[in-house]
Chains A and B, each alone.
Chain A
Amino acid sequence: MPPKGRKIPKRTSAKKSIARPKGRVKAADRTINASKLAALRESARQLEIILTTAPIGIWEWNIETNSVAWSGKVFEIFQLPAKTFEKSYETYQSLMHPDDRPKMQRHLQASLASNKKDYFIEHRIIRPDGEERWLLVEAVIVRNAKGVPVKMSGTVQDITERKRIEDDREDWKARHELVSTAAGLVIYDYDIPSGNILWSGNIRDVLGYTPSELGDVDRWVEMIHPEDRAEAFSLLEKAKSENKPYDVYYRFSKNDGAYCYMHDRGVFLPGRTGEPHRMLGMMNDVSERVRAEESLRESEHRFRILQQASFGGIGLHDKGKILDCNQGLCDITGYRYDELIGSNGLDLIAPEWRDFVLDKILSGYDKTYDVEGIRKDGSRYFLEIRGKNLPMEGKTIRVTEFRDITDRKVSEEKIAEQNRKLFAVTDELRRKNHQLQEFTQIVSHNLRSPVGNILTLLTFYDNASSEEEKRELIALLKESGATTLMMLDELNDVLKIKQDKNIPQQEIVFEKMVHQVTSMLTARITEVKAQITFDFSGAPAIHYPGIYLESILLNLLDNALKYHSPERRPEIFLRTYKDENGHIILSVKDNGLGINLERYGHQVFKLRKTFHHHPESRGIGLFMIKNQIEAMGGTIRVESIENEGTCFFVNFNKPHNDGR
C-alpha cells in the first residue's frame, strides 16, 4: 500500500511526454546541473526517436506532487482515451489486475523504502475492453539529498506475447515431465563433446536413482549389463558416425541391483560443423514386454514340441487351405511340409469322401469320423478325422487332426469277424439248446407215455381174473410196444438229421424231384383227383441233399393232399424263386382246410401235433422236415387261412451262421 503521506502518482500525459520532454525533465529535477541537463536532453531526444517507433511507453511520476505524465504509447498500451484519463497513481492502480495489486504495492513500497535506484516489475492489467495484458514496468527512482524518493521515471511495455510463449514453454515442460513420468520414460540429453548427460523423466520409478546418481556417458556404459555392453556401445558409435537414429535393447542396472530391459531410442543433432554434437533420446523399461514375449516364445516352442510329438497329424486350415501343420501330418500323408502348406487339405482325402468331409468342415462338425485318406503315392488308408473351429485373429480357422487308423480298422475287422463267429456259435448253441428242449419234450411226452401204459397194463395183467381179460391185455400190451418202437424209430430219424451235417449234396432239378415224389403219391393223387402244377423257372435247380429234398417235397405234398377240403377239388401249386437276398425259396400252396394259425401256430412244426381229425394224422412229417431244413441252414414258415388253404415257404439258403 502506498503510505498515507506519499502520493502515488505515476502517469503523465502522453501528449506532453512526447511533445515536450524537456519541460518535463526540467520540472522533475531541478537539482541536475547544466551539463548533465544537456546530456540528458540529448539522450531524451534520442529516446524520443526510439519511443515513437518502439512499442514502449514512457512515464514519469512526481511523487511529491503525485502528478503523472504518460507518453502516447502508454495510452495505447492501456487502451485509454487520453482526454478522459485522470492521470494519477490511483488510476494506474485501478487498472491493475486485482491478483497482482498487493504484490506490486509491496514491491513498490520496498523499492522506495530502500536505497535502490532501479525498479522492475511484471504484472497484469485489465484493459477497459476486459482483456488481460502483461506489462513490464521498469523505472529509475530519483531521490533528493536526504534520500527521499521524489520521482520515478520509467518505461512500460506490453509483454503479453512473450509471457504467453513463456507460459507455453512452462506448459510443455510440465507436460513433458508428466508424460515421461507416466510412461516410465527416462529422458536424456547427451552432450557429445563433453560426455555429459542431462537426465530427466521418471528416473526414480524406473531405475530407483536420483538424476544426480546417473552420470555421464561413461557411467551409462558401466550400467549396461556386461553381456550387452559392447554391442550397445558399438551400436551407439555406429549410429553416431552414420547420423542415424539409435534404437537398441539392452539390460540396464537398477539401483536395487537387478537389471531391467531397456529400449533406448535416440537421435543426433548436428553441431555447426555438421558433426553430431548432441544426442536426445529416451529409455523405456520394456522388461514386462520382453518377459511376455519370452514366455510366448517358450509356449510356442512347447506347443511345437507337443505338436511334433503328437502321433497324429495336425493341420490348421482355412476352408481347406492348409495354413500350418506338424510333422505327423507329413508322416501320415507322405508329403513334405512345404508341399502341404498352402495346399488344399481335401486333396488328402480319397475323392469319393471329399464332399462328405467338406460338408463336415462347412457345418463345423467337431466329433470324430472315419473316412479314407489318400497319400502322396496314391495309396489309401483308413483315416479318422476330428476338426474343430477356432477363432484366430478375427477369423475362424479349423484345427484338424488326422489319425491313421488302419491298424485299428484291421483289428476292428478281426474283432467283427470274431464277433460274427461268436454270434454264429451262439446261434448254433441256441439252436442246439432249443433242439435239446424239444427232445426233452419228445422223450417226456411221447416216449414215457407208451412205456407208462405198458407198466399199467402189466399191473392189470397180474390182477386179471379171467383168461379173456388177459388176452385183451396182451393185445393192448402189443399195441403199446409197437407204439413205443415206432416212437423210437421216429426219434432215431430225427436224431440222425441232427448229427448228419456232412450229408452228401448234389445238384437237383426241382421238376425232376417233383415227378419222383408225385409218382410215390400217385394212388392218393388219383383218389382225391388233385391237380398239381408248378413253376420252377425262378430257380430250376438246387445244390442240396437229395434225400432231404425228397422228404421235404413228399411231406409237404402229402400234407396238402391229406388236408384237402372235401368241398373243392384239391389244387396244389409249387413254385421256386430267389428272394431279394438271392436265396432259393420253395412255396407249396394248397386250397385245403387251412389251419387256424392264431390258435395253433405255435404247434405247427412240433412233433405229434395234429390239427385235424384225420385218421392218418401222425404229426411227425412237419417236425421231421423242419429239422432237415434247419440242419441245412434254412427255415420253413407257413401262411394259412382256415377253409381257404395253406402255403408253406421253405428258404433253403438262409445263411447258417454255424461258425464253420
Chain B
Amino acid sequence: MKNLLSVQDLKVYFRGKDQVARAVDGVSFDIRPGETVCLVGESGCGKTVSALTILRLIPSPPGEIMGGRVFFNGVDLLDLDETDMQKIRGNHIAMVFQEPLTSLNPVFTIGDQIGEAITIHEQVEPEELRERCVQLLRDIGIPSPEQRLKDYPHQLSGGQRQRVMIAMALACNPDLIIADEPTTALDVTVQAQILNLMKSIQQKASMSILYITHDLGVVANIADRVNVMYAGVIVEMGDTYQIFQNPRHPYTQGLLASLPGRSRRGRRLHSIPGAVPNPAFKPPGCPFHPRCSFAIETCKTRFPEMCKHGEGHLSRCPVLD
C-alpha cells in the first residue's frame, strides 16, 4: 500500500553556544492511510521534535533540519516554502497538543477558535460555519454544543478542552492527525474517553494518526504499528502485537518489563539502569549500550543497523538477533 507519510532519515539538530544537541538523529518511519502509528519513548528522546518537524514548526534558530526527507502524499514537505506549508498545516496535517490548558487562546470563545480553523482554509458562509462548528462539537461528544460555542476556554474542563482541540484538528478533515501526548495532562478516566473518541473518529473519517506517547498502556490500546525511539533514533519498529509479544531490542524489553503487572504484584518494579544520554553528548556506537545488559565490545564503537525479525518488524540490535 502507498504511504501517506514517509519520513526518511530525518535529522534535526539544535545549535547551542558551543555544542550541538542532536535531538533527532536519523529517524525513518512510514504511515499508511487509515492507520494509527505510535511513537514511543522516554522524555527527551526526540518524539515531539520529530512531530513538529513534520509540520515544520521547529523554532529556527536554534533548531535546524540537517537532513532527511518528509514525503507527504509524494511531496517533500521540507522543500515547500512557507506559504505552501501553511496550506498543508491544519488542512492536510493537523496537530493536537499535549497541554489542552494552554493550547487554546484564553481570550477567544471556542466557537471563534474552531471557526477560525475552518475559515483559514475554506470560504464558508457564517451560518454554515456555525452549523459546522456545532456539528464538530457534537461529533466529539460535547453536550449542548450551541451554548458551548460561546464559552471561553477557562469555562471548560481539561477533558472538554482537549476535545475542543481535537475538534479544531478535525475541522478541515485532515488526512493525518499528529497527536502529541494528548492525554498526558488528563486523568485516567478522561484519558480513556479521549482514546475512544480518537478511535471512533478514525474509523468514521478513515484518517491516519501519528500518536506520540510514553505510555505503553495507551500504545497497546490504540496503535496499529509502533516505533520505539531512544536518544533521537528509532530502535525498534513493528506492529503492536510483535512489539508487545516479541520485543527484539533490549530497550523495548526493558520498557515492557518496567510495566506493573498483576503477576508481579508486591515485587519491586523493574527499571532500566542509568538515564537518557544528553543529546549533545551521545555515547559513540549504539546510544543504548551504557544502559544495556547485553552490550558487547562492538556496541561501543559501531552504530547498529536495523535487523529484520519478521514482516515489518525491525530492531536496531545485532546482539539479540
A binds B: no
Chain B residues in contact with chain A, CB under 8 A?
Answer: none
Chain A residues in contact with chain B, CB under 8 A?
Answer: none
